[in-house]
A = this chain, B = another copy of it.
Amino acid sequence: MSEDKAAILRRIYLFSGLPEEDLAALARLAVARNFPKDAVIFWEGRQAAGFFILLEGQVKLVKSSPDGKEYILRLVGPWETFGEAAVLAEDVYPATAVALSDCRTLFFPTAPFLALLTASPRLSRNMLATMSRLLYHLTRQLEDLSLKEVSARLARFILDKCRETHGQVAPDLVIELNISKTHLASYLGTISETLSRTLARLKALGVINEEKGRITIKEPQLLENIARGIKV
């Protein structure tokens, strides 16, 4: 079983380039933990006991307000880690994690992981790189929320997703929203009604096509401009 885990860990960015013995030590640490759909994996503000690797399923990291609105900080897919940030400060989780579907995860308890971290320069370096990318991601979201309107955020999301799946942006490329539009709305910092209208507007402009969660890019250049915040 521990061998299986080591094989899995090799696929995780955070653990890339680690010597065998480090991987083995990590594999000994890891605890399999599974969650049904809609289960809360951890709560914002609770003492962070460790972090997770998602093996299968989808997880959302959310902030929610007293009156029931929620903002999705990050959508986590397979082979990504989450809850890492809390580990370092031996602190609390900065957001709540919820399983969007049935999930299989590996859990790494804080204290022994920190010991490994101290012993492995490569692991430290990977961790720093991971957190760098998270920081970069968050600053982009802040930029969007503070300076851009919904149409620009949606356009940016589509372009990002397109580059992620196809490595480029070109006419007639198709991207799949594999989340509900309600969730996408929370991720973009708005609500489903507004997202619906914004999508309709982009369709009417001929910039994109959309049906049943499949978006086709029609006018890449226009889409780039909208993402930059240039008025149409």
CB neighbours (8 Å) of A89 from chain B are 129, 132-133, 136
A142 B73 Cβ-Cβ under 8 A: yes
Interface status of A230 (Cβ within 8 A of chain B): yes
* Interface locus among A4-12, A14-22, A144-152, A215-223: A144-152
With A91-B132, A91-B136, A124-B121 in contact, do A67 and B143 touch (Cβ < 8 Å)? no
Q: Give the number of residues in A that approach B within 8 Å (Cβ atoms).
A: 45
Interface status of A88 (Cβ within 8 A of chain B): yes
The contact string, 1 if C-beta is below 8 Å from chain B, for chain A 105-143, is 000000000000111010011011101111110111111
The contact string, 1 if C-beta is below 8 Å from chain B, for chain A 139-170, is 11111011110000000000000000000000
Interface status of A77 (Cβ within 8 A of chain B): no
Interface status of A28 (Cβ within 8 A of chain B): no
Residue in chain B with minimal CB distance to A127: B128
A138 B138 Cβ-Cβ under 8 A: yes
A228 to B63, CA, bound (A): 13
A125 to B138, CA, bound (A): 22
With A121-B118, A121-B121, A125-B118 in contact, do A63 and B143 touch (Cβ < 8 Å)? yes
A134 to B127, CA, bound (A): 15
CB neighbours (8 Å) of A128 from chain B are 88, 117, 124, 127-128, 131
A119 to B125, CA, bound (A): 11
CB neighbours (8 Å) of A121 from chain B are 118-119, 121, 124
CB neighbours (8 Å) of A189 from chain B are 145-146
Residue in chain B with minimal CB distance to A65: B147
With A89-B136, A230-B66 in contact, do A142 and B145 touch (Cβ < 8 Å)? yes
CB neighbours (8 Å) of A133 from chain B are 89
The residue from B71, B88, B141 contacting A129, defined by CB atoms under 8 A apart: B88
A91 to B131, CA, bound (A): 13
Q: Would you list which residues of chain A between 26 and 80 have a CB under 8 Å from chain B?
A: 63-67, 69-71, 73
5 more contacts with CB within 8 A, not counting A69-B147, A124-B125, are: A88-B128, A117-B125, A118-B125, A121-B124, A138-B139
